Structure 1
C-alpha cells in the first residue's frame, strides 16, 4: 500500500491565491527550463501520465523537539538516571474511494484533463497544436514507434481488475509515455534527438510532458508528544476534508531550443482544490473489508485498523476532479507564459 508523508499543516492552494511562478520549481519566475522556453509561443502535449489514487495510507511521524529532549535529559541526569533519547511517534489514516468508477470512466476523465490543459494554455495567450493533428505528422511516427511499447506496459497496469488497487495510470488519447524523473537516460540518446529535429522542423512547437497523481481527499494529521523521564504520552488529531489534490507532479519541456533536463520541473508543494465536494465520509470495517476483497485477488489485508471510506457518486467524483484540474491548469498556464518571457 502506498504511503504518503504529510506535514502537519496542509497548504490549500486556490486559483490566484499565490503567484503562478511560486507554484512550480524549474520554470516560471526563474528556473532552468526558462532558457529553452524563452520566446516559445506554441506547444503540444504528447505525454500526460495521470495516476488516479483509489486508496491511500497517509502517515505522519513526529519527533520530540531537541529543546524538550535536552530538558528531559538534564532532568534525568539530575536524579542519577538516564534519558532514553528523543521520543517519536506516528499516526496513520487509510482512506478508500468508493465512487463506482470503472476504467473507461478514468480514461474519459483523462481525455477531458488533456483538453482542459490545452484550453487553459490557449486562454493564457499561447498556441496549442492538437494531438489528433500532431498524431498525423510523418515526423511524429518514429516517436510513436519508439514509445508505444513503453506506453502499453504502463497502461497495462490500469487493468479493470486493478480498480481500487493503489493508483490507476491512464493516458489521454493520442498521448505516449516517453520518460519521467526515474528514466535512466531521458530522451533515449542521439536517435531520439534526430527524431526531435524532424518534428521541430515540422511544428516549430515545444513539447509539454507531464506526470501527475490525483488524490480524492485531503487528510490532516496533528501529533503531539508529551515526553518526559518517565515515558511519553502521544495524542493525535485527524481531519479528512472532501477536497481533491494533486499530490505529485513532474514536468519536462522539449523545445527547438533544448530539453529535456536531467532533473524535471515540479510542483513546489501539493495543489489542493479550493472547493469541497459532496461525499459521505465514514468508518465501517465490514464495508472496508468487502472493498479490499474486491481490490485484491490474493493476499487480502486484514482490516485491523480504522479505515475511512470516502463515498460519493461517480458524477460528483468526475465534477470535483475536473474542477481541481481546471484550477491547476490555469496556474500552470500562467507560469508557462512567465517562462516563455525567459525571466
Structure 2
C-alpha cells in the first residue's frame, strides 16, 4: 500500500525576503557565537536532527484594511446597496500529497542534506571534516558512548506508521543527537568539557549541531473578500505551488574557543524555497475520507473543509527538498564565514 504525506500551505517568509536582513540570530554579522567562531577554519557536523512534518492543516484569516473598507463601501453604494462594515474572511484547506515516500526514503534524504551542507560550507572557503573520518577517531568514541542512547531513542520515533500524519525524525549516518534548546543543561559540566578538549586536540575543528524541521507547502491560498454584502464572504483561490520550507531551526557550535551557549542560534524566520514543481491537484471528498480512514484508525478528521488531493512523484518531492536545502545551506555557509572570518 502506498504511503501518503499530508501537508498544507501557510504564508511565510520567502528566501528573498530573508536575504534582505540577517538570516540568523547568534552568528553572522553579529552574534554571541562569533567569539567562539572567530578564526575557526575547520568544522564538522556531528549532529543534524531533521524532522519531516507530514501533516499540517491551514487556516488563513485576512482582516480587511481601512482603505479596502472604504473602496468596498463606495462600490456597494454605487450598486445601490449598503456595505456591512469591516469584514474578515478565512479558508481552511488540508492537502493530501501522494508522493510515495517511506521512512527509508527520508533517511536517504537526510544523508543527502548532510552532504549538501558539508559541500556548501566547503565551497564557501572553510574546511570540512567528513563524519566518516571523525567517527573513527579515538577521542570521538567517548562522545559516541555518551550520546548513542539518546540518539537511539530519538531515532526510534521515525515510525513508518507516522508517514502521512506524524513527524518523521531522522539522523544522517554517523551523526548523533547531543542536545537542543530544550536540554536542561547543555554539555554536562567539567567531564563534558574535558571530553571536548580531547576531541578538539585531535580534530582542531568546530562542531556544528543542527536541529531542523522541514515542511512541504503544496497549496497557496489567496483569500479575498466580496464587496457590497453584509455577511462574511470568502473566496479561496488556489495555486499549485509545491514548495519546501524550513519552519524551525536551531544551531549550536562547540569550538576550541567555547560553546555551546545556554541559548542556541536560530533562523530569523521560516525559510521558503521559491522554486515551484509540477503537481496534479483535484478535490475528491469521498477519496479524501477513504485516505483519512487509512491514517486515523480511531478518529478520522472530518472533510467538511473540502480537502484537495495533490499527486506528485517521489522524484519531484525529493528534488524540491534538495533545492530548498541547497538554498538554505548556501546562506548558512555565508553567515558562518562572516562569523569565522569577519567577511
Normalised by the size of structure 2, how large is the TM-score? 0.83
Q: Is the 8 A contact 2:7 2:216 kept in 1?
A: no
Aligned to 1:109: 109
Distance 2:66 2:20 in 1: 36
Which region of structure 1 is more displaced relative to structure 2, 18-27 or 122-131? Answer: 18-27
Distance 1:26 1:6 in 2: 26
Instruction: Give the gaps of 5 or more residues in structure 1.
Output: 70-85
Distance 2:190 2:237 in 1: 54
Spell out the pairing of 1:1-343 with structure 2 (5 A cutoff): 6-7=10-11, 10-13=12-15, 19=19, 22-62=22-62, 90-217=90-217, 219-223=219-223, 238-342=238-342
CA displacement at 1:96 relative to structure 2: 2.5
SS of 1:56's equivalent in the other structure is coil
CA displacement at 1:48 relative to structure 2: 0.7
Aligned to 2:80: none
Distance 2:63 2:20 in 1: 34
Distance 2:270 2:184 in 1: 26
Instruction: Count residues in correspondence.
Output: 323
Distance 1:120 1:284 in 2: 42
Q: Is the 8 A contact 2:45 2:209 kept in 1?
A: yes
The 1:63–1:20 alpha-carbon spacing in structure 2 relative to 1, beyond 3 Å, is closer
Instruction: Give the gaps of 5 or more residues in structure 2.
Output: 1-5, 70-85
Per-residue Cα deviation, 1:65-120 (whole angstroms, up to 9, x for no partner): 79999xxxxxxxxxxxxxxxx98764332223210011111111111110111011
The 1:109–1:20 alpha-carbon spacing in structure 2 relative to 1, beyond 3 Å, is farther
Distance 1:186 1:5 in 2: 34
RMSD: 3.0
The 1:278–1:183 alpha-carbon spacing in structure 2 relative to 1, beyond 3 Å, is same
Distance 2:313 2:146 in 1: 39
CA displacement at 1:12 relative to structure 2: 2.5
The 1:111–1:174 alpha-carbon spacing in structure 2 relative to 1, beyond 3 Å, is same
CA displacement at 1:299 relative to structure 2: 2.7
CA displacement at 1:278 relative to structure 2: 1.7
The 1:165–1:4 alpha-carbon spacing in structure 2 relative to 1, beyond 3 Å, is closer
